[in-house]
Amino acid sequence: MTFFSELGETITGTGKEVSQKVKGFTEIAKLNLEVKKKEDLIQKQYMEIGKQYYELHKQDAEPFFEEIGLITEAFGEIEKLKDEISRKKGERKCPSCGASIDQDALFCKRCGAKCEPAPEQAEEEAEAAAPAEALEEAFEEEALTEEASAEGTPAEEGEGETGE
């Protein structure tokens, strides 16, 4: 055997080994992928069972799993957050079907229910205006009382008679 033929054999041998290893890796990767696929499938079934169990038992007074309460709570929070997002986007919810409608829409686009224009916004404005108005009125009353007591007669009567 010459040096070159020996070298050739070694290279071929190493090449075979490498290709076999690669083949082995590929097969392992394929098998791992199969395992992953089955695990994903199981996860989905678990989730589906969980959903169905939740739907069956969400009304229970004392649910067997405390997770039921956590899910219901989270659903409630999601609703609140969505409402807040709708308000920030200038949208309202239909009082009948819950579809999002424009702030100034009179009727729901989905179910046709009558919608009072922007009641929430009006309420907010009224709330904001109320303290200022109350404060002004309080000041006016105070001023009138001071005036009246200084002159000794009700301020309104005096002004009305002298004017006409």
Where do contacts with Zn ion occur on this chain (CB under 5 A)?
94, 96-97, 99, 108, 110-111, 113
Nearest approach in angstroms of CB 120 to Zn ion is: 16
Give the Å distances, CA to CA, from 122 to 10, 117, 127.
88, 9, 9
Nearest approach in angstroms of CB 110 to Zn ion is: 5
Residue 108 burial (C-beta neighbours within 10 Å; 0-12, 13-18, 19+): buried
CB closer to Zn ion out of 71 and 105: 105
CB closer to Zn ion out of 120 and 147: 120
CB closer to Zn ion out of 25 and 107: 107
Nearest approach in angstroms of CB 109 to Zn ion is: 8
Backbone angles phi, psi at 92, to 5 degrees: -125, 170
DSSP letter string, 43-93 = HHHHHHHHHHHHHHHTT-SS-SSHHHHHHHHHHHHHHHHHHHHHHHTTEEE
CB closer to Zn ion out of 113 and 129: 113
Nearest approach in angstroms of CB 128 to Zn ion is: 29
